Amino acid sequence: MDHCVLKIDKAGQPVDWLSKEQAATLVCNDKVVWSFGDRLIELRGGFNRRGERSILKLHPILAVDGRVSHHSYRVPLSNRLLARRDRYLCMYCGQKFPLSKLTRDHVLPKSRGGRDVYQNLVVACQCCNTRKGNRTPEEAGMPLLAVPFQPTFCEFLALANHHVLADQMAYLEKGFKHQHMRLN
């Protein structure tokens, strides 16, 4: 896992995921106001003259000075994030698929003005996507298993990382709006 340290602001608002190296840079430059979390993450550094390797132990949550505003931030959209949101389940037949077998389905078809936004997108298996074709779920008689939603910033951070630690999740959950996310 590359991005494993959660950066938060002084008020406890999640800001971003950091790689170990980015986190170490903040620590070494005295940018960390406080740090928190049980499981320490080790970063191995170089060897000294005696052949000993330096190890920096990082907390999984680092607070930095300043405050962030998520209002202006647009959550990126990708098939991977959609699949994570929909738990790798085809939203029509409910079967689980690997990412490579899931397609992006426009609930209201694109040809009929359906937009490329989270609220109009679900993942579907090839078979269901083809069967639904250029129809709405109602027209096709294929009800959606869950209503697609736009993730909040904190939900996006949770979806973007496969290995969120419990301590980190506690911070992200403050920004969750959708019940669905808590079951993940």
Binding site for Zn ion (CB under 5 A): 90, 92-93, 125, 128
Least distance to Zn ion from the beta carbon of 127, Å? 6
Residue placing its CB nearer to Zn ion in the complex, 25 or 130:
130
The SS3 call for residue 54 is: strand
Which DSSP category does 96 fall into? B
Beta-strand (E) ranges in the chain? 3-9, 14-19, 32-36, 41-47, 53-58, 61-64, 102-106, 121-125
Q: How far apart are CA 135 and CA 63, in angstroms?
A: 48
Cβ nearer to Zn ion, comparing 92 with 156 = 92
Residue length of the chain: 184
Closer by beta carbon to Zn ion, 86 or else 155: 86
Cβ-based nearer residue to Zn ion, 90 or 181: 90
Q: How far is the CB of 129 from Zn ion (least distance, A)?
A: 8
Give least dist CB 88 to Zn ion, A: 12
Fill in the amino acid letter for 20: K
CB of 176 to Zn ion, least distance (A): 27
